Amino acid sequence: MIALTLDEIARAAGGVLVTRGVASPDLVIDGAVHTDSRDVRAGDVFVAKPGEFTDGHLFAPTALEQGAALLIVERELDLEVPQIVVDDAVVALGEFAREVVARVRAGGRLRIVGVTGSNGKTTTKNLLRAVLERVGPTIAPRASFNNEVGAPLTMLELTHETEFLVAEMGASGVGEIARLVRLARPDVGIVLKVGLAHAGEFGGIEQTVRAKTEMVTDLLETDVAVLNADDPRVVPMQAETAARVVWFGLGHDADVRAVDIRAHARGTDFVLELRSGERREVHFQVLGEHHVMNALATTAAALELGVGLADIVSALESVTLAERWRMQLLGGRDDITVINDAYNASPDSMSAALKTLAQIKRPGSRTIAVLGEMSELGELSGEEHDRIGLLIVRLGISQLVVVGEGARRLHITAINEGSWDGESAYVESADEAFDLVKDSIGAGDTILVKSSNSAGLRHLGDRLGEWFA
C-alpha cells in the first residue's frame, strides 16, 4: 500500500480516528490491508468485517498479536492500537481503495484493466498479468478476489511504481460491477461472455446482461471497451458505451481473432490474426479450446495498452495453468490423465470442459466424467442439468459418475436418453466416487472432475490426481 497517515486513512474511509493514546494522527502506515487476521504481519491494517457466519471483530486481538498497526472497525474495541471506527467496514474498505487508486492515478503512470464476464474472468486476469508484468509493475488479484471485498483489497496493493492494475470484477446482482467501476474506472474494460452462471442470483439472464453491461457504461471516449464479437448478448453493449470498441472472437468481423484452432491434450494451437493482417502462430498450453477466447481478449487489451505482439504471444505461450482447479492436468501413471476443473461450473463452462474431454480422447482409451452440481442457476437448474446430461451421451463419454443429490438429474437424464446401459453411475459422496473411479480406470484413460465450488469436488480431483500420479 502507498504510505498514508492515520488521519488520511480515516478521512478516506469516512471514519473517526481513535488513537487510544498509542499513536499520533500523523503516524504513517504503509503495510498491507487484510480482512483475514491470519494474513496480518507487522505494520499491516486489519479490517474487522462482519461475515455471514462470524464477526471479524472477534479476530482483532489475533491481528494485533501478529503486528497490526491499525484496525478499521464498526465499534471501538478495548485494544491498545489505533482504530478507525466506521459505520460499515465493507463500504469503508471500498472508499479507502478509491482514495488509494486516485492518488496513484494522479501520478500519471497507472493504467487500469477491468475484466468481467460469466466465465473466464480468472483465466483472463492471469493471462493479463503474465503479459503486462513483462513491460511494467503489475498488480492483479489473488485467487478470485473480484467482489466488493476482494477487489478493493487488490486495489490497496498499489504503489506509486505500479503501471498496471488488473481488476477482476464479479457480481451476483445488478449494481455491483458499477460500484467496483466507480472505485477504479478502467481505461480498458473487457466483457468476456454473458451466460447462465449465477443466473439464479441475478434473477434471470436479462438481469445478468444488465449487470455485465455496467463494465462499459461509465467508460469515457478516451477509454476502450473490449467486447466479445461472438456473443449476441455482449454485442449490443457497443450502444451503451462512449468508449471506442475493439472486438475479439472467431468471426471475420473481429479485430483480434483466432483461426486454424487445433485442440490437443496439452493445450491448443491457433493462429492469432489482427485486422491489420498481422498473423502469429500461438502454442497455447492452457487446456481447453474455450480458453482461446480469453487469450484473444487478453491480446486485444494488451495491444491497446501498448504491448507489442511478440511480447504478448511469448507471454501467452509461457502460461501453463489458468488457475489451480481450473482445467488443471494431474495424474500421469500409466498415461492416465486427471483434469481437475472443479473450482466452479456453469452450463457454458461444463459444456466446454466436456467437449475438451471428448476432443483429447486417446484412441482405444476411455473418458470418464465425474460431475457435481452446477449451483446458482435458480429456476433454470433442472433444464440445464438435463441439457448437460444429454450432451454427455451425445459426446460419447465412456463413463459418467454423478456425485450428490444436487446433480442427480444429470444421471437420470443420461439414463433416459436410452443409449447407455450402466455407463452412468450415481453416488452420494466424493469418497464413493473416488472408490468407484480408482477401481475402474485403465491405462490411457482420461478423467474430468467438474462441479461448482460448493459441491467440493476440487478435493476429489486432487485426490485422484495423487492416486494416479
DSSP string, 408-429: HHHHHHHHHTSS-SS-EEEESS
Q: Is 454 annotated as a binding residue?
A: no
- Asked if residue 60 lies in contact with residue 73, where contact means CB atoms within 8 angstroms, the answer is yes
Q: Is 208 annotated as a binding residue?
A: no
Three cell numbers, residue 89: 467496514
Burial degree of 203 (CB within 10 A; 0-12, 13-18, 19+): middle
d(CA 311, CA 288): 22
CB atoms within 10 A of CB 147: 17
- Asked if residue 296 lies in contact with residue 256, where contact means CB atoms within 8 angstroms, the answer is yes
d(CA 61, CA 68): 9
d(CA 141, CA 439): 39
| 169 closest CA partner among 159, 157, 152 | 152
Q: Is 122 annotated as a binding residue?
A: yes
Q: Is 355 annotated as a binding residue?
A: no
Q: Is 120 annotated as a binding residue?
A: yes
Query: Which residues are registered as beta bridge partners of 448?
Result: 339, 369
| 302 closest CA partner among 185, 181, 166 | 166
* DSSP H/E element including 331: strand 328-331
Three cell numbers, residue 312: 504478448
- Asked if residue 255 lies in contact with residue 275, where contact means CB atoms within 8 angstroms, the answer is yes
Here the contacts of 273-276 (C-beta below 8 Å, separation 24 or greater) are: 274/303, 274/309
Q: Is 119 annotated as a binding residue?
A: yes
d(CA 137, CA 159): 9
The type of residue at 449 is V
d(CA 357, CA 398): 11
DSSP string, 284-335: E-SS-TTHHHHHHHHHHHHHHTT--HHHHHHHHHH---SBTTBSEEEE-GGG
Q: Is 121 annotated as a binding residue?
A: yes
The 8-class DSSP code of residue 135 comes to T
- Asked if residue 369 lies in contact with residue 391, where contact means CB atoms within 8 angstroms, the answer is no
- Asked if residue 46 lies in contact with residue 34, where contact means CB atoms within 8 angstroms, the answer is yes
d(CA 431, CA 448): 16
| 213 closest CA partner among 246, 238, 195, 231 | 238
Q: Which residues are annotated as a binding site for ATP?
A: 117-123
* Binding-site residue set: 117-123
